[in-house]
Structure 1
Amino acid sequence: MKKLNNITFDGMGRYRIIYKIFIGVVLVGLSGCIQKKEAQKVDQSSVSNGLKYATGFQIRSEGSVTIIEVSSPWPGSETTFSYALVPKEGLASISLPADTYDAIIATPVQNLVITSTTHIPSLEALGVLNAVVGFPNTDLISSPTARKKVSQGKIKELGTNENVNTEIVLELNPELVVGFGINDTNKAYETLVQSGIPLVYNGDWTEQSPLGKAEWIKFFAPFFNKNELADSIFNKIEKDYLTAKKLALKATTQPSVLTGGLYKDVWYVAGGNSWMAQFLEDANANYLWSDSDEKGSIGLSLEAVLEKGSQAEYWFNPSLHASYRELLQANSHYEQFRAFDNSKIYSNAIRKGETGGLLFYELAPQRPDLVLKDLISILHPGLLPNYEPHFFRPLE
């Protein structure tokens, strides 16, 4: 596998990867093969469960076995990981070759460990959050339901990233660990692999399109026999998103938009093919860097951003600053922007969970319809009267 030496992220996503590094764990290795005497071979007739937007994974059925292939566990991955999901009642009659799959999981799963806050909304929507028994850095969890389970001791604290407490995980003995990784290296999880715990990658964060990220709810569904429910949930999100996108086209103006802020001496704006840029396009905004090809972020000097973006009508996600005072304390040049003078700066980092986790980075990937409505309500207030934004808040 190839390690990533350089990773770039969009204006919204730069903090996202830093944020997720704390909770991510990379999963590598193979699980053992389930074999029984006189076992029947799997019916190789394959039925594809098509995805409409997500590009980082595929699902297909081979008889009673579901095969999930993850081709984008992290940006630039050259390996596709293959997982076989076998109904528990069929274990005695199904034989699978261990060298074909990276993990073999008996379903439905009754307890699992997850490693990214983006996993929580999908499991909660599917009604299987009770199955989660462990999570690294639980303070980052925002979901009230999940937070209650943490306080009750039902979701155990597992440490952070490569410092994940493997002893606790082994004591929990989960049927499955769902991991997040930025490359193929994590020594802590090699220990779990060698212990025979099934490990799978989830690459939801690598998707560039809003609906592509949301469609990863279908990744979780087969582990719990919730395929039909996942389809229903996603179809509703898709319908609401496309309806909002159509509504935005009724706007008579396209407000100009600036994104991002300074990190040390570099200003990171969202690339033209990034997640944020897609939201702004669908919200019928004039994003000033929409003509760039980058899928991640673009690092610019303050002078370059001032030259192109000083007159932008709206400014989204000025780093993690929550007030105009914080902006000025960070850099006095911020007041040269029109959006600063007109108090048109909005942040997705203001709404936090009980212990400081950012709601946006947990829920927004699963609910792009809410993100788009937020942006439309801000950029075209007449189209969604009396709408209260879910994620974005004006700076104080």
Structure 2
Amino acid sequence: MSKKLLSTLLFITLTIFFLSNCAEKKKPLPVEQIETKIKIEHATGFTIEQNGSFTVIEVKSAWPGSETSFKYALIPKEKLATITLPNDAFDAIVAIPVERMVVTSTTHIPSLEELGVLGSVVGFPNMDLISSTVARKRIDSGLIKELGTNENINTEIALELNPEVVVGFGINGVNRAYETLKQSNIPIVYNGDWTESTPLGKAEWIKFFAPFFQKEAVADSIFKGIQESYNKTKLLAKKATQKPTVLTGGLYKDVWYVSGGESWMGQFLKDANAKFLWADTEVKGSIGLSLEAVLEKGQQAEFWFNPSLHTSYTELEEVNAHYRQFDAFLNKKVFSNAINKGTTGGLLFYELAPQRPDLVLKDLISILHPELLPDHKPRFYMPLN
């Protein structure tokens, strides 16, 4: 072999080696190497991961006691044609940003309103429950359609609305309407904000909605503001020199349901620097008790919150004359979250309070420690009529 031919072959070999190395270096990183978890500080029911190509939301507590988690892939519309996912990897795949959405709980409304995307909502079951003035204007203009009830959504109307996603609310995972919509290729995504037991945990679910509209930075900013306001108010409560005793709940048939010590309300009362009489119970929900048991422990409580849905002392007395035995009743220290309603009867508390726990805490402090917030105007908790 001549030296010239040998040199040529060597040059070609080196060139191929060099080009192949360059090609290797230009290969994109595998998805698993560039995943980024979004910081979730207080909520325990969901996680968010971004990998540069799409976003994955996992809902771990769609309803109390749920042993099933759900994974949803959110893919930018411009990338849909270039990304292929295994059919069994996700419970739903949603193209983002979403422009047409159906939501099923009033707790979803404030988050969407704060994110500036309420205009995407095209349908809702039992619209009379909605209190938001902005949402009611859209309802009155025919921009949000009535879908019946969450347990029995009118699927015919829902299909006509052609939503890109339905954000579902479930108590056990059984909903025939959702199954019908799934069969029509409409993604169903569960939201479990109501299963959180802490005030800031519920509020952080605004971050759940953000990726559907590519508004992650906006949601993060909004939540930080709420968190700072809540923590500042909590510190203010510590300045109180006394801890008034508190009773909660009321009778439903023959059972009195009080808030558990680790419940949403229990946490509020702790942060408001009150002496909640059932604070030492390790219960995240409510506790069913007899009237006699509540009288024994709570008869002398200074304040009484959430007497079922009753809004006046006359109504309380008519329902059960034994209510008159409580000091809080006799001293007119009973407060309800069921008085402030929307124009069609929806309770503002159950819609807005989960997203604005700082306002709830201020209400409670203004009642329990009026000297700390003398100019506060209650938003949710009002004295009985």
Output the TM-score relative to the length of structure 1: 0.89
1:42 and 1:375 map into 2 onto residues whose CA distance is 51
1:190 and 1:386 map into 2 onto residues whose CA distance is 51
- Alignment counterpart, residue 43 of structure 1, candidates 31, 34, 38: 31
Q: Secondary structure at the match of 1:68?
A: strand
Correspondences of 1:91-240 after superposition (within 5 Å)? 91-240=80-229
Correspondences of 1:1-396 after superposition (within 5 Å)? 43-44=31-32, 45-396=34-385
What is the one-letter code of the residue matched to 2:176? K
Q: Deviations over 1:323-357 (max 9, x none)?
A: 00000000001011010111000000000000000
Shift of residue 161, structure 1, vs aligned partner:
2.3
What is the one-letter code of the residue matched to 1:368? P
Q: Is the 8 A contact 1:271 1:293 kept in 2?
A: yes
Return closer, same or farther for 1:124/1:61 CA change in 2, 3 Å cut-off.
Answer: same
1:51 and 1:164 map into 2 onto residues whose CA distance is 32
What is the one-letter code of the residue matched to 1:245? K
Q: Deviations over 1:227-268 (max 9, x none)?
A: 000000000000000000000000000000000000001000
2:113 and 2:193 map into 1 onto residues whose CA distance is 16
2:212 and 2:89 map into 1 onto residues whose CA distance is 19
Shift of residue 162, structure 1, vs aligned partner:
2.5
Gaps (5+ residues) in structure 2?
Answer: 1-27
Moved more, 158-167 or 374-383: 158-167
1:389 and 1:98 map into 2 onto residues whose CA distance is 50
Q: Which residue of 2 aligns with 1:23?
A: none
Q: Deviations over 1:120-146 (max 9, x none)?
A: 000000000000000000000000110
2:138 and 2:269 map into 1 onto residues whose CA distance is 36
Shift of residue 386, structure 1, vs aligned partner:
1.1
Q: Secondary structure at the match of 2:242?
A: coil
Shift of residue 41, structure 1, vs aligned partner:
10
1:114 and 1:41 map into 2 onto residues whose CA distance is 36
Q: Deviations over 1:83-129 (max 9, x none)?
A: 00001111121111121000001100001000000000000000000
Q: Is the 8 A contact 1:260 1:268 kept in 2?
A: yes
User: Segments of 4+ in structure 1 off by > 2 A?
Assistant: 40-45
Q: Deviations over 1:344-382 (max 9, x none)?
A: 000000000000000000000000000000000000000
Q: Is the 8 A contact 2:129 2:345 kept in 1?
A: yes
Q: Is the 8 A contact 2:150 2:169 kept in 1?
A: no
Q: Secondary structure at the match of 2:226?
A: helix
Shift of residue 47, structure 1, vs aligned partner:
0.7
What is the one-letter code of the residue matched to 2:179? E
1:177 and 1:161 map into 2 onto residues whose CA distance is 11
Q: Secondary structure at the match of 1:95?
A: coil
Q: Percent identity?
A: 69
1:204 and 1:323 map into 2 onto residues whose CA distance is 30
Shift of residue 64, structure 1, vs aligned partner:
2.1
Q: Is the 8 A contact 1:42 1:65 kept in 2?
A: no
Which one has more relative contact order, counting CA pairs under 8 Å at least 6 apart?
1
Q: Is the 8 A contact 1:209 1:275 kept in 2?
A: yes
Q: Is the 8 A contact 1:260 1:270 kept in 2?
A: yes
Gaps (5+ residues) in structure 1?
Answer: 1-39
2:143 and 2:361 map into 1 onto residues whose CA distance is 34
Q: Is the 8 A contact 1:42 1:63 kept in 2?
A: no
2:30 and 2:308 map into 1 onto residues whose CA distance is 51
1:339 and 1:207 map into 2 onto residues whose CA distance is 29
Shift of residue 42, structure 1, vs aligned partner:
7.2
Q: Which residue of 2 aligns with 1:33?
A: none
What is the one-letter code of the residue matched to 1:359? L
Q: How large is the Cα RMSD of the aligned pairs?
A: 1.0
Q: Secondary structure at the match of 2:143?
A: coil
What is the one-letter code of the residue matched to 2:267? Q
Q: Is the 8 A contact 2:363 2:381 kept in 1?
A: yes
1:87 and 1:42 map into 2 onto residues whose CA distance is 19
1:68 and 1:91 map into 2 onto residues whose CA distance is 17
More helix by share: 2
1:370 and 1:42 map into 2 onto residues whose CA distance is 45
Q: Is the 8 A contact 1:214 1:234 kept in 2?
A: yes
Q: Secondary structure at the match of 2:138?
A: helix
How many equivalent residue pairs?
Answer: 357
Q: Is the 8 A contact 2:61 2:69 kept in 1?
A: yes
Q: Is the 8 A contact 2:302 2:333 kept in 1?
A: yes
